[in-house]
Amino acid sequence: MSRIISTENAPAAIGPYVQAVDLGNLVFTSGQIPICPKTGQVAEDIADQTRQSLSNVKAIVEAAGLQVADIIKTTVFVKDLNDFSKVNAAYEAFFKENSAPFPARSCVEVARLPKDVQIEIEAIACRR
């Protein structure tokens, strides 16, 4: 049986979906765009957007009772792969700051993202 995960520490869904679904041993987050849940604002810089998207993922994973170290897979959607090195630097710093191993990851360029942001990140976390 699945359980819906919801937290005020991440932006509310902007469509007919939930922030995450907990299947018991796996938690699947919806894609997180870089909206600050407190202000509703989006930073201009891709590195700041990356950090905010990851912070949103972290809040959801923690609402499920897990931590960043439990994330086993991420998918990163970017508007411009020319930002790949900036995204990688922010991504690496985030996992190191959270004393977490790097998960498996895919990164793809997309034509457009909701609210015209530059990045969206989804994750799968595992309850061990």
Active-site residue, from 5, 107, 119, 127 = 107
Taking the C-alpha atoms of residue 81 and residue 83, their distance in angstroms, rounded to an integer, is 5
Taking the C-alpha atoms of residue 2 and residue 5, their distance in angstroms, rounded to an integer, is 10
Q: Is 36 a catalytic residue?
A: no
Q: Write the CB contacts of 86 (distance below 8 Å, at least 6 apart in sequence).
A: 46, 47, 50
Active-site residue set: 107
